[in-house]
Amino acid sequence: MALLMRPRCFCYSVLLPPLLVLATLAAASGAAADAGGREVERTYIVRVDADAKPSVYPTHAHWYEAAVLAAAGDDAGGWPEGGPLIHTYSAAFHGFSARMSPAAAAALASAPGVAAVVPERVRRLATTRSPRFLGLLSSPPSALLADSDFGADLVIAIVDTGISPAHRSFHDRGLGPVPARWRGVCASGPGFPPTSCNRKLVGARFFSKGYEATSGRMNETAEVRSPLDTDGHGTHTASIAAGRYVFPASTLGYARGVAAGMAPKARLAAYKVCWVGGCFDSDILAAFDAAVADGVDVVSLSVGGVVVPYYLDAIAIGAFGATEAGIVVSASAGNGGPGGLTVTNVAPWMATVGAGSMDRAFPANVRLGDGQVLDGVSVYGGPALETGNMYELVYAGASGGGGASSSAADGYSASMCLDGSLNPAAVRGKIVVCDRGVNSRAAKGDVVRRAGAIGMVLANGAFDGEGLVADCHVLPATAVGAAAGEKLRKYIASSTKQRPATGTIVFEGTHLGVHPAPVVAAFSARGPNPQSPEILKPDLIAPGLNILAAWPSGVGPAGIPSDTRRTEFNILSGTSMACPHVSGLAALLKAAHPTWSPAAIKSALMTTAYVRDNRNGTMVDESTGAVAGAFDFGAGHVDPMRAMDPGLVYDIAPRDYISFLCNLNYTEQNIRAITRRQADCRGARRAGHAGNLNYPSLSATFAAAGAGTAAATMRTHFIRTATNVGGGRAVYRASVSAPEGCNVTVQPRQLAFRRDGQRLSFTVRVEAAVAPGERMEPGSSEVRSGALTWSDGRHVVRSPIVVTVQAPLQ
């Protein structure tokens, strides 16, 4: 291999130690080439054995640079002035990221000392009422807030778009000094002077090298090279997790009250990794690395993307390093619902959080000229439509609808209200119906407004179902579900010039005490777990629909450039909003129970979650109105007051995750890429299966036999170990609600604990039967749900049981 190097580097081929492990490298074949026939470069993340650095290299960075130069060979060069390295990692992860060709990456993967080479992926960003809805009362303080001192001295890392440091939610009045163990920094830059941090916001960093390595130098007229949040997402999530008490708080007059985060006295550290072009793996991993080194207690990550094997997933790798350091990692499940297999961030060492509603709504109903009233929601604070007036309705996507511009003759673009698609002469002074999809909901309103229309109705399609999100529209507008949207389109289609379709929008403000609540938000990503179905994901849900939280002063509430309105708080929806609820609650639990591991904290949150709504029925799916299941809400909706005293927890040590990975049939090299540890999988594979990870839920997948008339019974078993944290002696007895068509037995059925901290194990055997003559469509599956509950008369420890029976494809 030819070697090009700077004078400070030494000979790579001579001085590196023997090969330790061969990396798994995806996407190395079939690489794209530029016009000159050269392979197109991309960013790769490289894990190394830190102990393999030859002593002749002064630093790991010198070693890394030599390795990249050697792998690049004759193609070396063309890197920025600082050299080929983008980031170096040393806390949550040992290694570096660099930009290179697929051929160079493949060569590097086989180099001595290299454990893994992972292609970078780009991720996307997936409250006045929620503390009270969750039972976190400030006066008198609830037990969890009191026992945790409101999360004081715990540090929550927000890995997101940055933060707006001057916001009232981040003031430090009444807080003690910065914890002595804190090792972080307050990085400065445009709009973010060194004095931006305080005793509340104790640290701030930004990571853009990965973004700029792929996208080119950032446009600093549109973005700022500092931790300052110019998007709003990071400020919003940070205040949900740990915002101070602020009164009055509202968005354009909606949701008036006291704003507060889950852990109001917890400290915050902002790690900006998301930019206009997205959130890049190498930057996210750099944030994890810094957060571990800085000494955070919780990482909150409202970012997601595609699901890949854990050894190719930079978030899973960074989260494992954080978990190993005792840090709780909470991540958003994604907004790909209501379809199945859409959940992201599925590694078992992370808490994966879906979204539910609260008992608050913002009705904005459509009243039609024929007397129909269609339910809708909106957060619109401008001049309302004139009371008593009815306005002509137009749907430009209809054949002959007349609303489309000449450049959109097929009506598709106009039906979506894409930029330039509407004919101003046809829509001026009217209410335009727009279909969801392609461009953002707020952007559709801007298109409609610029075309001269007076209002907008945003109608769901069949895939969206009945799920509704209240947006801060720039004109009088509301959103309606799929059924209402169909009625609206039919009403418009039946109109004539003599009898045009007419309607208006009636804005009703803020309603409290809504039933049913919570419901599973339509957008919330669903299971099963695409990577390891033995682990139920999402883990649980938390408030994520129409959440009020802090907002930067320089960003309009609609989040589009044309919105010149300003508001101190904004209402957003997404699993991005649900995740920081759990992050803040994890900080409270860690403050109250400082010896609990990340797995114990997650167990407490999961086994105390509830599945019944405020009508005392099982929670429903917002998209369909049907009863929801474990693939929708995991263990259930978070209940922080019960999580404070769960009775039992299912603890997991880092070595247990290695056994889990072994039972996924990962190679020892794959496992080392994630864990930095040598793994001997022979014993682990003999001992059981991946479902035997000591997880707070139980999930089994059976492959049904082919079509036939004989009955079939499929069997598996789970081993679990419960740790007593309820205080002293206790006897727990098991009760089982078996999934339909299944037989579930627990042995022993009684656990007698003699002391706090004692661990006792039990076995759960599951048999799933396929009845004689029962036929399943090829490739279909049946999901059956139940639960195992342990109780000592004071504590109730519930674990969902999910059984999936899959039919063969043929």
- Top-confidence range, 120-124, 375-379, 775-779: 375-379
- The single-letter DSSP state of residue 397 is T
- pLDDT reading at 142 higher than 70: no
**For residue 23, what pLDDT band results from cuts at 50, 70 and 90?**
very low
Please report the domains of the chain, with CATH numbers, ordered by start residue.
Answer: 42-119 (3.30.70), 130-359+519-644 (3.40.50.200), 363-509 (3.50.30.30), 648-652+694-807 (2.60.40.2310)
Lowest average pLDDT, out of 226-230, 663-667, 775-779, goes to 775-779
Each residue of 468-489: b (16+ CB within 10 Å) or e?
bbbbbbbbbbbbbbbbbbebbb
**Does the pLDDT of residue 34 top 80, yes or no?**
no
pLDDT digits (tens, 9 = 90+) for 92-107: 989 999 999 999 999 9
Looking at residues 340-365, what average pLDDT do you find? 97
Per-residue pLDDT at 779: 72
According to DSSP, the β-strands at 648-649 and 742-747 are unpaired
- Given pLDDT bands bounded at 50, 70 and 90, which one contains residue 41? confident
Q: Check pLDDT > 50 for residue 90.
A: yes
Q: Inform me whether the pLDDT recorded for 663 exceeds 90.
A: yes
Beta strand pairing status for 376-377 and 477-480? antiparallel
pLDDT above 60 (res 800): yes
Residue 724, phi-psi category: left (phi > 0), alpha (psi -120 to 50), beta (remainder): beta
- What is the DSSP secondary-structure string of 94-115? -EEEEEE-HHHHHHHHTSTTEE
pLDDT over 90 (residue 753)? yes
Given pLDDT bands bounded at 50, 70 and 90, which one contains residue 676?
Answer: confident
- Residue 213 near residue 283 (C-beta atoms within 8 A): no
Task: Tell me if residue 288 falls in helix, strand or coil.
Answer: helix
CA dihedral 142→146→149→154, nearest 10 degrees, is -60
Average pLDDT for residues 302-320, to the nearest whole number?
94
pLDDT-based confidence at residue 687 (cuts at 50, 70, 90): low
| pLDDT mean over 529-543 | 97
18 versus 437: the higher-pLDDT residue is: 437
For residue 11, pLDDT beyond 50: no
In this structure, are residues 131 and 262 in contact, taking their beta carbons and an 8 Å threshold? yes
What average pLDDT does this structure show over 693-718?
Answer: 81
Instruction: Say if residues 196 and 186 touch (Cβ distance below 8 Å).
Output: yes
Give pLDDT, residue 152: 82
- List, as one string, the DSSP characters of 238-249: HHHHHPPPEEEE
pLDDT at position 129 over 70 = no
For residue 424, pLDDT over 80 is answered with yes
In this predicted structure, what is the pLDDT of residue 271? 98
DSSP-based three-state secondary structure for 320: helix
Note the pLDDT of residue 131: 66
Query: What's the pLDDT band for 83 if we cut at 50, 70, 90?
Result: confident
pLDDT value of position 688: 80
**pLDDT higher than threshold 50 for residue 24:** no
- Confidence category of residue 140, pLDDT binned at 50, 70, 90: low
**pLDDT at residue 77 above 70?**
no
Start-end of H helices in 677-754:
681-687
Helix count (H) and strand count (E) of the chain? 20, 38
132 confidence band (pLDDT: 50, 70, 90): low
pLDDT over 60 (residue 33): no
Look at the block and give the residue holding tokens 């598709």.
412
Query: Where does the pLDDT of residue 21 fall: very low under 50, low under 70, confident under 90, or very high at 90 and above?
Result: very low
pLDDT tens, 168-177?
999 999 999 9
Q: What is the pLDDT of residue 137?
A: 61
∠ CA 753-756-760, nearest 5°, is 40
Enumerate the active-site residues.
160, 233, 576
pLDDT of 20 > 70? The answer is no
CA distances from 120 to 42, 686, 694 (A): 8, 35, 31
350: nearest Cα among 369, 376, 373, 324: 324
Question: Taking 90 as the threshold, does the pLDDT of residue 263 lie above it?
Answer: yes
Alpha-carbon span 326 to 682, nearest angstrom? 28
- What is the model's pLDDT at position 408? 42
The answer, yes or no, to whether residue 709 has pLDDT greater than 90, is no
Q: Which residue has the higher pLDDT, 146 or 538?
A: 538
- Any idea what the Cα angle at residue 150 is, between residues 144 and 155, rounded to 5°? 120
Looking at residue 557, what is its pLDDT? Answer: 94
Cα–Cα dist 629/342, whole Å: 15
Percent of the chain with pLDDT over 70: 88
Residue range 188-210: mean pLDDT, rounded: 97
Evaluate whether 565 touches 471 at the Cβ level (below 8 Å): no
Q: Which residue, 86, 160, 87, is CA-closest to 124?
A: 160
| Structure-block tokens of residue 165 | 């440091």
Lowest mean pLDDT: which of 114-128, 264-278, 450-464? Answer: 114-128
pLDDT value for 680: 86
